[in-house]
Amino acid sequence: MDDNIITQLSIFVNNEPGRLAHIASVLRECGINMKAFNLAESTEFGILRAIVDNPDESYEKLKSAGVIVRKTDVIGILIQDTPGSLFQAADIMGKAGINIEYGYAYNGKAAGAFFIRVDDPEKAVKILKEAGIGLILDSEI
């Protein structure tokens, strides 16, 4: 797999009081550190999407703790704190026919990032690199 494709964990959280605290407690007990995350909701449940240290090991720990979790491939696009930074990458992918399903931002130590799930990660990485758009390596998170 390409080093620019990052494993994200999608953790299902029932949409009721105290459930996020329970999941956060399990993450703490399992020693899982989140680098970036997003919580999306629906009527019945939420999805905590997280970029974590050691995603494969974290996945196994969560499964063992009875948490419903899935692995998803995402891409981390380097973005600048300037107008138009998001447009450039989004425009390139749209013109290449790549759909951005969702995304969330993160402001790291060295640079900001926009983590996205797309319908064709390999193609997205290729065209973004060809366009000179910076991507985050899995090892840089």
**73-140 matches 5-72 in CATH topology:** yes
Tens digits of per-residue pLDDT, 112-123?
778 888 889 899
List for the chain the helix, strand, coil content (%; round to 5): 30, 40, 30
pLDDT tens digits for range 79-133:
887 888 889 999 999 999 999 999 998 776 666 778 888 889 899 999 999 999 9
| Element containing residue 11 per DSSP (H, E) | strand 5-14
CATH for 5-72, options being 3.40.91.50, 3.40.50.720, 3.30.2130.10, 3.30.300.30: 3.30.2130.10
Domain boundaries, the chain: 5-72, 73-140
Kindly state the tokens that stand for 113: 């990032």
Distance CA 5, CA 74 (A): 6
pTM over 0.85: no
Task: Place domain 73-140 in its CATH homologous superfamily.
Answer: VC0802-like (3.30.2130.10)
Q: Look at residue 1 and tell me whether its pLDDT is greater than 80.
A: no
- Residue 128 has which token pair? 């973004």
In angstroms, the CA 79 to CA 133 distance is 9
Name which of 9-13, 15-19, 119-123 the model is least confident about.
15-19
When pLDDT is averaged across residues 43-65 and rounded to a whole number, the result is 91
Neighbour-count burial of 114, counting CB atoms closer than 10 A to its CB (0-12 exposed, 13-18 middle, 19+ buried): buried
